[in-house]
C-alpha cells in the first residue's frame, strides 16, 4: 500500500519483514541511504549504509505501521516541516510509543538526532561527527567565481574534483537508465521538505512535479525523444508567471493570483522537458537586496542561517545553493541575480538586456529588467540561459540576434591546455576595489584575477569614470519606471481588492494594504521624479548618465574581452542588519547597477572564461570545506 502524505511516500510492504530506509541529504547534493532490516521473527537485523552513487531516494520507511513511521518522521524533522499532519505530534507522547517498538527503531531514533545535523550543517558546513566515519564521497563542490561567503580552509584540495553540470549529469543518468526522473524529482521534493523550514526559499511548491517526472520516464521508456532539460528540476522566481501556479512577486496585492499564461522563459523550459518545482521567494516586486522585503517570509542563507541570501532573487539563489533545485530563474534589474549568487555561493548569470524575453516577467523597471539564471556550475547557468534565450514576438524589446551555441564553451577539463585562456584580456574595474569595499572581497577578487593570470589571461586595471554616477541614476530610473509599472495593481481586475464605497478609497485601500513599505517608498520616489517640473532634473538626467556609462563600458570593452568586479562590496550580512537603513542597502548595489544601465554583457567569452576558471580552481579560499575521502 502506498500512501502519499504531504510529499513523503510511506510504503507498507512485506509485513513479515521490517525494513527501514533513511536517506540523508547533504548540502553539497550527496545522498546516503541507510537501510535497516529486521525479519519477521526479529532474529536477523541488518543495517546498511549505501553509498551516494546508489542515487537519489526519498525519506522512506517501509514495512512499518503508518503511525509509527509518521512518529519517527515527526521526530526526525523539526515540527514545522511536517506538512498536513493528521497526527499531531503534540497529541501523543513519543516515549510511550517507543517503549513498544523494536530496538532497531531506537537506532533510527538515535539516527534521527543526527539527521538534524545535516540541516545544522547548512550553516556550519561541518558534517556530523558520527557520519564522518562512514564511507563517503563528495558528490559536488560548491564553488563559483564570485563566491565570497566562506573563508573556511579547504581540508584537502587535491581530493576536490571540479564541479559537474547537474543538467548534463541528469541527462546522462536518465538516458542510460541509471535513474529515473521520478526518483530525481522525489529526492528533490524530499530535500525541499527537509530544508524548507529553515531556509524558506519557496513561496509555493508545485503539486505536479512527480506527475511531470513520470511523464518523462514514460517517454524515455517508450524510447521517445526528450528535451535537453528533461527531468531538470528548476525553481522559478515568483515574479515570473507560471500558469496554474501562484505568481505573486512576493506581494500581498497579488496573493493567490494565478496567471493564465506561462512566461515565455517558463514556456521554453517546459517545452524542453524541465520541471518547474516551485516559485522562489524574493523581495516584493524585486525591490530589495536581501529578500527581507518579501511580504510572506524571510529566506535564510544556506551557508549561515542567520544571514541574508541577498536579493531580490534570494530564494532562487538559496534554493540552488541548498540543492533544492538544480538550476533556477531569477530576474536582475540592478543586481538581483549577481548579488544573491555571490551571497549564496552559486553561479548567477545576468544576460544582456533583450536576450531573454521579458514576457511574463512582472515589470519592475522595464528598461533594466532581465531574466537571469542560477546554477551550481557555470555550465548549468549557461545551458539554462541558452534554453530561455531568443527573440520573442510577444516582447518587442527582445533581441533578434541569433542565440549562439554555448555548449562549445564548456569543454571538459582533460582538453584544457596549460594556459587555456591564453591572450584573453581581462579588465579589473578599479572603482570596484576602492574604498568602501570589504578587504576580504578585495583580496578574493584579486586572487581570482591572479588565477586568471595563471590561466593565461592578461589582467589589467581599467577605470570607468562614470562608475559612481550609476547608483543614483539607477535608483531614479528604476523608481520612476516602477511607479508606472505598478499602477496596474489597483485591485480592479485581479489581486486583492478592498471593498470601498467610492473609487479613490478602493484604490487607496487596495494599494495601501497590498504593497509593502519598500514598494511604497519606491513608488513615491518614482512618482516624484516623473512629476512635471522634476522630469528634466531627474529622469532625463539619469538617462543621460546612462548614455555616459554605456560609453565608458564600451571604451573599456574595446580594450578588454571581459571585465571583472566583485558582485557586492561585502559578503552576506546578517538578517535585519540593513533593514532599517535603506540607503546602506541601496549602496550595496553599487557594483551591479552600472551593468544594467549599460545593458551588458556579451555572454560567449564570459561563459568560456567562467567555465575554465571554475574547472581549474584548486585549493582556493572560497571553496566550501569538504571532507577527507575516507573510502
Q: Which residues bind another protein (CB under 8 A)?
A: 239-241, 247, 249, 254, 257, 259-261, 263, 358-363, 365-367, 393-397, 480-481, 483-484, 486-490, 492-494, 503, 507, 527, 530-532, 535, 539
Q: Which residue of the set 190, 336, 398, 482 is catalytic? A: 336
Q: Which is nearer to another protein, 81 or 264 (CB)?
A: 264
Catalytic residue list contains 389: no
Residue 364 beta carbon to another protein: minimum distance, rounded to whole angstroms: 11
Q: How far is the CB of 38 from another protein (least distance, A)?
A: 54
Cα 112 to chain centroid, rounded: 27
3 state DSSP class of 595: helix
Nearest in space to 115 (alpha carbons), one of 76, 149, 79? 76
CB nearer to another protein: give 190 or 242. 242
For residue 396, the number of C-alpha atoms closer than 13 Å in the C-beta half-sphere is 0
For the CB of residue 362, give the shortest distance to another protein in the complex, in Å.
Answer: 4
What is the nearest approach in angstroms of another protein to the Cβ of residue 389? 17
Output the CA–CA distances (angstroms, integers) from residue 393 to 290, 358, 362, in the order listed. 34, 11, 17
Is 336 catalytic? The answer is yes
Q: Which of 147, 251, 312, 399 is catalytic?
A: 312
**Residue 269 beta carbon to another protein: minimum distance, rounded to whole angstroms:** 15
Kindly give the pairing relationship between strand 18-25 and strand 8-11. Answer: unpaired
How far apart are alpha carbons 282 and 286 in whole angstroms? 6
* Nearer to another protein among residue 263 and residue 598 (C-beta): 263
Nearer to another protein, 330 or 345 (CB): 330
Q: Please give the full DSSP string across 476-500, using - where no structure is assigned.
A: HHHHHHHHHHGGG-SSSSSS-----
Catalytic residue among 237, 267, 350, 608: 237
Q: Are 366 and 331 in contact (CB under 8 A)?
A: no
Cβ nearer to another protein, comparing 362 with 448: 362
DSSP letter, residue 567: S
Q: How far apart are CA 122 and CA 118, in angstroms?
A: 7
Q: What angle do CA 519, 258, 351 make, to 5 degrees?
A: 60
Quick check: 339 and 483 in contact, CB under 8 A? Answer: no
Q: How far is the CB of 580 from another protein (least distance, A)?
A: 29
Buried b (16+ CB within 10 A) or exposed e, 437-456: beeebeebbeebbebbeebe
Residue 300 grid cell:
535564510
Q: Which is nearer to another protein, 366 or 629 (CB)?
A: 366
List Cα–Cα distances, 267 to 229, 282, 359, in angstroms: 12, 21, 10
- Of the pair 40, 503, the CB lying nearest another protein is at 503
400 is catalytic: no
For residues 73-101, one letter each, b for 16 or more C-beta atoms within 10 angstroms of the residue's C-beta and e for the rest, the string is bbbbbeeebbeebeeebeeeeeeebeeeb
| Min CB(393)–another protein separation in Å | 7
The residues annotated with a catalytic role in the active site are: 237, 312, 336
Amino acid at each position: 500500500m502506498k500512501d502519499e502524505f504531504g510529499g513523503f511516500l510511506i510504503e507498507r510492504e512485506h509485513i513479515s519483514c521490517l525494513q527501514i530506509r533513511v536517506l540523508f541529504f547533504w548540502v553539497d547534493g550527496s545522498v546516503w541511504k541507510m537501510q535497516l532490516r529486521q525479519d519477521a521473527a526479529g532474529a536477523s537485523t541488518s543495517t546498511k549504509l549505501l553509498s551516494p552513487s546508489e542515487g537519489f531516494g526519498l525519506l522512506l520507511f517501509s514495512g512499518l505501521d503508518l503511525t509509527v513511521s509518521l512518529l519517527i518522521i515527526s521526530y526526525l524533522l523539526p515540527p514545522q516541516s511536517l506538512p498536513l499532519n493528521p497526527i499531531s505530534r503534540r497529541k501523543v507522547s513519543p516515549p510511550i510509543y517507543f517503549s513498544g517498538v523494536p530496538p532497531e527503531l531506537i537506532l533510527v531514533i538515535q539516527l534521527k538526532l543526527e539527521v538534524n545535523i545535516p540541516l545544522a550543517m547548512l550553516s556550519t558546513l561541518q558534517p556530523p561527527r558520527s557520519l564522518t566515519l562512514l564511507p563517503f564521497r563528495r558528490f559536488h563542490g560548491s564553488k563559483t567565481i564570485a563566491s565570497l561567503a566562506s573563508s573556511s580552509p579547504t581540508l584537502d584540495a587535491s581530493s576536490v574534483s571540479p564541479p559537474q553540470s547537474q543538467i548534463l549529469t541528469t541527462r546522462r543518468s536518465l538516458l542510460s537508465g541509471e535513474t529515473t526522473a521520478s526518483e530525481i524529482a522525489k529526492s528533490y521534493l524530499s530535500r525541499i521538505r527537509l530544508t524548507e523550514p529553515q531556509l524558506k526559499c519557496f513561496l509555493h511548491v508545485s503539486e505536479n512535479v512527480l506527475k511531470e517526472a513520470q511523464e518523462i520516464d514514460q517517454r524515455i521508456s517508450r524510447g521517445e525523444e526528450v528535451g535537453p532539460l528533461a527531468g531538470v528540476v528548476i525553481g522559478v522566481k515568483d515574479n515570473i508567471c507560471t500558469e496554474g501556479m501562484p505568481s505573486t512577486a512576493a506581494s500581498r496585492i497579488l496573493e493567490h493570483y494565478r496567471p493564465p499564461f506561462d512566461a515565455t522563459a517558463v514556456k521554453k523550459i517546459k517545452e524542453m522537458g524541465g520541471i518547474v518545482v516551485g516559485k522562489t521567494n524574493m523581495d516584493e516586486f524585486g525591490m530589495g537586496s536581501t529578500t527581507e522585503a518579501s511580504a510572506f517570509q524571510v529566506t535564510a542563507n544556506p551557508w549561515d542561517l542567520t544571514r541574508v541570501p541577498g536579493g531580490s532573487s534570494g530564494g532562487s539563489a538559496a534554493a540552488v545553493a541548498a540543492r533544492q533545485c538544480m538550476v533556477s530563474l531569477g530576474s536582475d534589474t540592478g543586481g538581483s541575480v549577481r548579488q544573491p549568487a555571490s551571497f549564496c555561493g552559486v553561479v548567477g548569470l545576468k544576460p544582456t538586456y533583450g536576450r531573454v524575453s521579458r514576457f511574463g516577467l512582472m515589470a519592475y523597471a522595464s528598461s533594466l529588467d532581465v531574466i537571469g539564471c542560477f546554477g551550481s556550475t557555470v555550465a548549468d547557468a549557461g545551458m539554462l540561459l541558452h534554453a530561455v534565450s531568443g527573440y520573442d514576438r510577444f516582447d518587442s524589446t527582445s533581441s533578434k540576434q541569433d542565440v549562439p551555441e554555448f555548449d562549445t564553451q564548456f569543454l571538459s577539463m582533460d582538453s584544457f591546455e596549460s594556459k587555456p585562456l591564453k591572450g584573453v584580456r581581462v579588465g579589473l574595474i578599479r572603482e570596484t576595489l576602492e574604498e568602501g569595499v570589504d578587504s576580504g572581497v578585495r583580496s578574493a577578487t584579486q586572487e581570482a584575477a591572479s588565477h586568471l593570470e595563471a590561466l593565461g589571461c592578461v589582467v589589467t586595471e581599467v577605470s570607468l569614470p562614470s562608475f559612481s554616477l550609476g547608483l543614483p541614476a539607477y535608483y531614479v530610473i528604476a523608481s520612476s519606471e516602477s511607479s508606472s509599472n505598478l499602477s496596474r495593481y489597483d485591485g480592479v481586475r485581479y489581486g486583492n481588492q478592498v471593498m470601498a464605497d467610492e473609487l479613490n478609497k478602493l484604490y487607496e485601500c487596495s494599494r495601501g494594504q497590498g504593497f509593502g513599505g519598500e514598494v511604497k517608498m519606491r513608488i513615491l520616489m518614482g512618482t516624484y521624479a516623473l512629476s512635471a517640473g522634476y522630469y528634466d532634473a531627474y529622469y532625463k538626467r539619469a538617462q543621460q548618465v546612462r548614455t555616459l556609462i554605456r560609453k565608458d563600458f564600451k571604451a573599456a570593452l574595446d580594450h578588454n574581452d571581459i571585465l571583472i568586479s566583485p558582485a557586492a562590496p561585502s559578503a552576506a550580512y546578517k538578517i535585519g542588519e540593513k533593514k532599517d537603513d535603506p540607503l546602506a542597502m541601496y549602496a550595496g548595489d553599487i557594483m551591479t547597477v552600472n551593468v544594467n544601465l549599460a545593458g551588458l554583457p556579451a555572454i560567449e567569452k564570459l561563459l568560456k572564461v567562467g567555465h575554465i576558471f571554475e574547472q581549474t580552481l584548486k585549493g582556493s579560499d572560497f571553496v566550501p570545506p569538504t571532507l577527507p575521502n575516507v573510502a
